[in-house]
Amino acid sequence: MEKEFVMIKPDAVQRGLIGTLINRLERTGLKIIAMKFLHVTTDLAEKHYEVHKGKPFYPALVEFITSGPAVAMVIEGPDAVKITRKIVGATNPAEAAPGTIRGDFGINIGRNLIHASDSPENAKTEIAIYFSDDELVDWTPTIAPWFTE
């Protein structure tokens, strides 16, 4: 089973979209195995976005992600990364397809509502930044056979 790290960013929290965005992920059948509401610190943000350090948008990105509360989540399932990134949509909402989170709710690349790791390896790294192993809950939804053959 693949794990994916997701963060509902401060813009989506401020806009009251937490439930809406979680619903879009949850209804796929991917399973939530960890979730926390937190105000991301600069230290956490710098670890999370380390790969973008040095890029022109990096300072604004760190300032934005630390500007208010966010929701960090781990979701699990077959192809969790690919499926989640498809639902999240392209980085720039102007290019994100209709039906995706960014395509339906966004108009600006710096306010694109949600983060999702781009590979299983990066998901592992990002999960470890925000969660300890004992915060990942091992459970099986009773309807699991209706999602996976």
Residues lying near ligand IDP in the complex (CB under 6 A) are found at: 52, 57, 61, 91, 109-110, 112, 115, 118
Beta bridge partners of 76: 3, 31
Is 115 an annotated catalytic residue? yes
We find the least distance from the C-beta atom of residue 139 to Mg ion, in angstroms, to be: 28
Q: How far is CA 83 from CA 24, 31, 96, 123, in A?
A: 11, 12, 15, 13
Residue 4's SS3 state is strand
CA distance 117 to 1: 16
> Of these partners, ligand IDP, Mg ion, none, which one is at the site of residue 26 (CB under 5 to 8 Å by kind)?
none
> Of these partners, Mg ion, ligand IDP, none, which one is at the site of residue 112 (CB under 5 to 8 Å by kind)?
ligand IDP
Of residues 56 and 145, the one with the C-beta less far from Mg ion: 56
In eight-state DSSP terms, residue 75 is E
CA distance 35 to 75: 9
By C-alpha distance, which of 89, 80, 87 is closest to 123? 80
Of residues 118 and 135, the one with the C-beta less far from Mg ion: 118
We find the least distance from the C-beta atom of residue 20 to ligand IDP, in angstroms, to be: 18
- The residue from 39, 48, 52, 115 that is catalytic is 115
Of residues 19 and 119, the one with the C-beta less far from Mg ion: 119
CA distance 24 to 136: 21
We find the least distance from the C-beta atom of residue 134 to ligand IDP, in angstroms, to be: 28
Contacting residues toward Mg ion, per CB under 5 A: 118
Active-site residue list: 115
